[in-house]
Amino acid sequence: MMKEPEVNFNLAREHGLTEEEYNGICERLGRIPTFTELGIFSVMWSEHCSYKNSIALLKTLPRSGGRLLVNAGEENAGLVDIGDGLAVAFKIESHNHPSAVEPYQGAATGVGGILRDIFTMGARPIACLNSLRFGPLSDARTRYLFEGVVKGIGDYGNCFGVPTVGGEIYFDESYIGNPLVNAMAIGIVDTKYVVSAIAKGKGNPVMIVGSSTGRDGIHGATFASEEISEKSEAKRHSVQVGDPFTEKLLLEATLEIIKQDLVIGIQDMGAAGISCSTSEMSAKGRSGMIIDLNKVPLREEGMSAYEIMLSESQERMLVVAKKGCEEKIKEIFEKWDLHCETIGVVTNEEKVIINYQGEKKVEIPPVELVLGGNAPVYIRETTEPKYLEETRNFKLKSLLEPECVSEAFEKIFSSPNIASKRWVYQQYDSMVRTNTVVGPGSDAAVILIKDTNKALAAKTDCNGRYVYLNPKEGTKIAVAESARNVVCSGAIPLAITNCLNFGNPYKPEMYWTFKKAIEGMGEACKFFNTPVTGGNVSFYNESPDTSVYPTPVIGMVGLIEKLENITTAQFKNDGDLIYLLGEDYEEVGGSVYMKVIHNLVTGEIPRIDLQTETDLHKLILHLIDNGLINSAHDISDGGIMCALAECCIINQEKPVGSRVHIPVKTREDFSFFSESQSRVIISVAPDNQEKFEEVASKSFTPFVLIGETGGKSLNVNDQYDFSIPLLIDLYYSSIPKRMNVTF
Q: Helices 140-160 and 103-119 meet at what angle, rounded to 10?
A: 30
Q: Which of 625, 669, 631 is nearest to 649 (CA)?
A: 631
Enter the DSSP assignment of 559: E
Distance separating alpha carbons of residues 250 and 46, to the nearest angstrom: 28
CA-nearest of 671, 645, 520 to 588 is 671
Q: What is the DSSP string of 465-514?
A: HHHHH-HHHHHHHHHHHHHHHHHHTT-EEEEEEEEEE-S-TTSHHHHHHH
| CB-CB contact of 25 with 33 (8 Å) | yes
Amino acid at 91: K
E strand or H helix at 255: helix 244-259
The single-letter DSSP state of residue 392 is H
Residue 6 and residue 23: Cα distance in Å, rounded?
16
Is there a catalytic annotation at residue 661?
no
Are 177 and 546 a contacting pair, CB within 8 Å?
yes
d(CA 374, CA 120): 25
- What is the Cα–Cα distance from 3 to 273, expressed in whole angstroms? 23
For residues 680 and 613, is the Cβ–Cβ distance under 8 A? no
CB burial of residue 118 (10 Å; 0-12, 13-18, 19+): buried
Residue 479's closest CA among 537, 535, 527? 527
Residues found in the chain:
743
The CA distance from 101 to 99, in Å, is 5
Q: Please check whether residue 291 is in contact with residue 59, taking contact to mean a CB–CB distance below 8 angstroms.
A: no
Catalytic annotation present for 95: yes
- DSSP for 212-234, written as a single string: PB-STTTTHHHHTTS---GGGGG
Q: Which amino acid is at 226?
A: E
Estimate to the nearest angstrom the gap between the alpha carbon of 674 and the chain centroid. 27
Residues 321/289, Cβ–Cβ less than 8 Å: no
Choose the catalytic residue: 48, 97, 219, 633: 48
Cα separation values, 16 from 20, 22, 276, 370, 647, Å: 12, 10, 17, 17, 51
Burial class of residue 191 (count of CB atoms within 10 Å of its CB; 0-12, 13-18, 19+): middle
The residue from 95, 219, 339, 633 that is catalytic is 95
* Nearest C-alpha neighbor of 557 from the set 141, 93, 184, 175: 184
Residue type, 151: K
Query: Residue 124, SS3?
Result: strand
Return the exposure string of 6-43: e unless at least 16 CB atoms fall within 10 Å of the residue's CB, then b: ebeeebbeebbbeeebbebbeebbeeebbbbbbbbbbb
3-state secondary structure of 652: coil
Neighbours of 685 (CB within 10 A): 16
Catalytic residues: 48, 95
